[in-house]
Amino acid sequence: MLKITIVGGGYIGVVSGVCFCEFGFLVNIVETDTEKLQDLKNNLVSVYEPSLESGLKKHQEAGTLKCFDNLSKTHHEPDVIVIAIAYSEEEGQRAEIHDVIRDVALLLSRSHYTAILIKTTTSVGTCSIIKKNVQFLRPDLILSEHYDIIVNPDFLREGYALHDFVNPDILVIGVDQNSKKARDLVAILYSMIISSGVQVIWTNQETAELTKYARTAFIVAKIAIMNEFADLCGKSGADIDHLTMGVSLDSYVGLKLLKVTPGFGGLSYLMLTRGVIRKASTLGMECRIMQAVMDSNADRIKNISTRIINKLSSDNGPNNKKLAVLGVACKPQTNDVYGAPSISVIHTMLENDVLVSAYDPSLCPDVPRTLKQIPEKIRNDSKFQLASSVYEAVTQSDMIVVMADWAEFLTIDFGKIWELMNRKQDVNPIIMDTYNLYTKTKTRLKNFEYISAEEILG
């Protein structure tokens, strides 16, 4: 039974810990933040992820998963040390990962082989620096005999992370090619996955580091392209839903993520896309396509805000008008609001003295730790309210904007919504649908002014 120590009790660390326990291993998680550590011990996680808290509770009660505040209190001579700290391109974060590696290096032993598994998203070349640091700190150890450094990027969708960890499309393993011990350990660590037929891509560390960035680049480019075609459809009279179907059924393109949206957001997409552009710049080149994708995404979000302001301004300006925002997180099944299009829209509305009432199934106004997901400037603004239901959010609103495609939004009662909204004589309440959730059921919206995704430019 493998003994695994995970450094970092955040999203990736906890998901990895719970799943490795499901594989039958013993897991210790190290979290130095006192508040986060206490939450973990109480089976609480700040990120909304279905079944994650119940999995944490199950394995802590079984004794297969334990949480500590210091590496020195964890497994003696662990088989695997997983680096899963939160990481960004900021200088402080880069320093933090090297501090962690210093502590990890001191745990390594000449009498026991340990694999250092890097799951933290790092810029290309970071593993090479880590390797040099370990060799400097522990000249008594021999690489590939006493330890290995393995890059194993995650490809987890927020809201489906547990499923994706256990049922990945591929496993990418970056390691020195001549290390038999590393290959043997990976075969044990992921035996349940490999035995199911999942392909393992064995490569060097630099390629493994860059693979996650490349994957994200393709995803966000798809999103930006479809949003630009939605605008083109609106100007030309074409139907974006039919266009999407016509393109997605082509096997060269594929259906996944081929749909119109308000734009992309989320910590992973934004951090990785910016990271590609920044890394290219340090190497003396430009990532013109990725920069264009970021610019296009920003324009999409700005156009949504502009159209809302224009609609609310048709009668004495937007001041003190009320907007209901349905969907705050960047996508369903998560409470990740970092860089979410909705956050930008809400911020613009508040700057224009628009009252905002927002609802998201993952954010409960009565739970303080979920409220922390929303930027402080927004949640402390007296013009902002986080509602506990769709119907509370839309009450006395002048306009609704749908900013996420939660399944719950497909079954709302538009008759009830029409009654609750701020209705004026001879003027229909407005719904802007940035996901085209309701284009196939427009008959339900006969009493509304409906703005589809392709009509955002006007």
Separation of alpha carbons 362 and 380, rounded Å: 19
Distances, alpha carbon 446 to alpha carbons 195, 235, 238, 438, in Å: 54, 23, 22, 12
Which runs of consecutive H residues, i.e. helices, occur in 364-410?
368-371, 376-379, 390-394
The CATH number fitting domain 3-203, selected from 3.30.300.30, 3.60.21.10, 3.40.50.720, 3.50.50.60 = 3.40.50.720
Average pLDDT value for residue range 368-390: 90
Separation of alpha carbons 297 and 290, rounded Å: 11
Burial (CB count within 10 angstroms: exposed 0-12, middle 13-18, buried 19+), residue 398: buried
CB atoms inside a 10 Å sphere around CB 378 = 19
Separation of alpha carbons 341 and 298, rounded Å: 9
Element of type H or E holding 60: helix 52-62
| Among 161, 266, 279, residue whose Cα is nearest residue 209 | 279
Name, in order, each residue with C-beta under 8 angstroms of 336's C-beta and a sequence gap of 6 or more: 47, 158, 266, 267, 329, 330, 373
Structure tokens belonging to residue 180: 């038999």
Instruction: Classify 409 in phi/psi space as left (phi over 0), alpha (psi -120 to 50) or beta.
Output: alpha
* pLDDT tens digits for range 259-280: 889 999 988 888 888 888 888 8
Average pLDDT value for residue range 359-376: 85
Which runs of consecutive H residues, i.e. helices, occur in 336-453?
341-351, 368-371, 376-379, 390-394, 414-420
The CATH number fitting domain 244-455, selected from 3.40.50.720, 3.40.50.1980, 3.40.50.2300, 3.40.50.970 = 3.40.50.720
Residues of the chain with CATH 3.40.50.720: 3-203, 244-455
Element of type H or E holding 399: strand 399-402
* pLDDT tens digits for range 241-258: 999 888 888 777 766 667
Question: CA end-to-end span of the chain, whole Å?
Answer: 61
* pLDDT tens digits for range 285-298: 888 888 999 999 99
Q: Is the pLDDT of residue 92 over 60?
A: no
Answer yes or no: are the C-beta atoms of 335 and 361 closer than 8 Å: no
Q: Is the pLDDT of residue 90 over 60?
A: no
What 3 state SS string does 130-194 have?
HHHHHHHHCCCCCECCCEEEEECCCCCCCCCHHHHHHCCCEEEEECCCCCHHHHHHHHHHCHHHH
Separation of alpha carbons 299 and 293, rounded Å: 10
Report the mean per-residue pLDDT for the chain.
Answer: 90
Average pLDDT value for residue range 111-137: 91
Q: Is the pLDDT of residue 89 over 60?
A: no
SS3 212: helix
Least confident of 136-145, 320-329, 415-424: 415-424
- Assign 47 a pLDDT band (cuts: 50, 70, 90): confident
Separation of alpha carbons 328 and 262, rounded Å: 12
Quote the pLDDT of residue 331: 87
Average pLDDT value for residue range 194-198: 95
Quote the pLDDT of residue 441: 77
Answer yes or no: are the C-beta atoms of 449 and 432 closer than 8 Å: no
Least confident of 100-114, 149-163, 367-381, 393-407: 367-381
CB contact burial 242-275 (16+ within 10 A = b; e otherwise): ebbeebbeeeeeeeeebbbbbbbbbbbbbbbbbb
- Assign 340 a pLDDT band (cuts: 50, 70, 90): very high
CA-based radius of gyration for the chain:
24
